[in-house]
Structure 1
Amino acid sequence: MERFQNTGQPDWDWWGKLWPTPGATLRKLGVEAGESVAEVGCGSGYFALPAARIVDPEPVYALDLDEKLLDELDRIADRQGIENVVPIHGDARNLASVLPERVDTLVVANTFHGVDDQPGLVAQAFDAIDPGGRLVVVNWHDRPRETTTVADEPRGPPTELRMTPEETEDAVLSAAEFALDRQVDLPPYHYALLFDR
């Protein structure tokens, strides 16, 4: 099974230039205290760790294929005294079976564009989310890669992998019985779509 297409895992300073306040971004996306969260493709935890602070004591399941990134996430969580983030080494294409329970919110950030079987992932997400919960998909806007620069370097997925909000909406709604709640603009280069289950 091949890995999802991606552009590599940026470091925390790089993420900070795009989202200087990840906790505020998560709140803007509807993450609230008292709900369980899973993040697909969590990397070293740039969103999973602030999510854990928001929802504490509920769990945040941080799923990734890269064990080294999960080890780094675990070390950072230990240093920061975060006890409710649960690193999970696993494949999102088996999401419903690798998560120990259904969650209230499932976040797919900067990953959806590179998934080879988007309908399969969406179906897995639907099964992994509690009824009444939500799916949050964060994507790069469909702009030429050379125009999305961070620290004067072109960043993000290749131009041909980028998806418009409409393409993302169609991909999700054609694969499972989600309902689009709203679109959230995440300047300078991203948008999020929130789907209700």
Structure 2
Amino acid sequence: MTQDRLFPASAMPDRDWWHTLWPNPDRVVRALRIGQGMTVIDLGCGDGYFTAAIARQVLGQQRGPKTEMRMSPEQTRTMVEPAGFKLETRVELPPYHYGAIFIRITA
């Protein structure tokens, strides 16, 4: 039996689909009585729709690497662009994060 037959590929629903079912992940996590200081495993987390809400409840705050450990957006560009990519979009994800979408430059 092949691996494909044992574990058929499935597509994850998009974020809008999850939002239609559970428009407020924080409320769902509170209803599950997940709270500060608990140890929680997010099994089958898919794209992490509930992960941030769980982290907020358990940690009492948003999480991210220490400031001195994070690469700035400029440092990220300096590392990625020489490999043949160009920054297409930068998205601020407050309070601690940003997203960077790079596209491959075709020669």
- TM bin (shorter chain): 0.3 to 0.5
TM-score, scaled relative to structure 2: 0.47
Report which of the two structures shows the higher radius of gyration computed on alpha carbons.
2
**Larger strand share, 1 or 2:** 1
Higher relative contact order (Cα pairs below 8 Å, separated by 6+ residues) = 1
TM-score, scaled relative to structure 1: 0.27
